Chains A and B, each alone.
Chain A
Amino acid sequence: MIGDRVSLELKNSLSELSTLRKSLEQFGEALGLSSKILFEISLSMEELFSNIISYGYADDAVHWIKVAISHEDEMLIIRLEDDGIPFDPLKAEEPDCECPIEQRKIGNLGIHLTKKFMDDMVYERQGNRNILTVKKKITGT
């Protein structure tokens, strides 16, 4: 299998999303993933990455976010590592998706979508770093 693992270091800037997307697309195409699975992975990565850059840093300095994409058996595995403030997305409050429009808020919707689309998410804090490992089943694609 070609491209068994891809590692990226991305700046905390939204402009890096296109680099992230292209890497995911290349990796996904090499594995023959369906466009639906690839869409769900791309969306989840945009949500997690944009969360880190929006809420992770209190200063204006450039920070580097490490992204590693790999696969193991029938799972695609993505590991995100950042030096932002401690943030466990798994503990984020679930949005109320039933309430009427006037009270509807968008907060945490990205994480809600990510949890639905990914099959496994594990958060760890190691020293000053957040490490999030997400897995997506890629069987039958």
Chain B
Amino acid sequence: MEVVEKKQNGICILGLLGRLDSNTSPEFEKKIFEVIEDGTKSVIVDFESLDYISSAGLRVLLKATKELKRSDGKIVLCSMKEYIKEVFEIAGFVSLFPIVSSVGDAVEEF
């Protein structure tokens, strides 16, 4: 798994590549919490190149969004494959995050 970080107008875009599972989630957790601790309040997680997610990945996103909410920040998710979106639906996570179809649409959410 790889996390690619980009900055755009004060928004941090984290692009995920590969698999977000029990083994790789700690790496993503470290990265997203670094970004939050740096004071970023607007985070986009780009799922375009993500092929797999399990509850370990959902756990990190839940923890991060709770943390950001405390400082009035927000996470927007985008470009999810259909079968990954289904995981979010079954987990009831679609009510916790705005999920949009592209990075461009995600930027509009802020």
Contacts and interface: CB of A to CB of B under 8 A. Distances in A.
Interface residues of B, number: 21
Nearest to A116: B90
Q: Tell me what chain A mostly uses at the interface: helix, strand, loop, or mixed.
A: helix
A133 interface: no
Interface string B11-45: 00000000001110000000000000000000000
A60 B62 CA distance: 30
B67 to A, nearest CB: 11
B4 interface: no
State which size class the interface on A falls in.
20 to 34
A97 B66 CA distance: 15
B23 A15 contact: yes
A14 interface: yes
A39 B83 contact: yes
A109 B92 CA distance: 10
B87 A14 contact: no
Interface stretch (A3-11, A70-78, A81-89, A98-106): A98-106
Given A36-B83, A39-B52, A43-B54, A112 B91 contact: yes
Contacts of A15: 23
Q: Nearest 8 A-B pairs (CB), nearest first? A: A97-B92, A110-B55, A106-B59, A109-B55, A50-B22, A36-B83, A46-B54, A116-B90
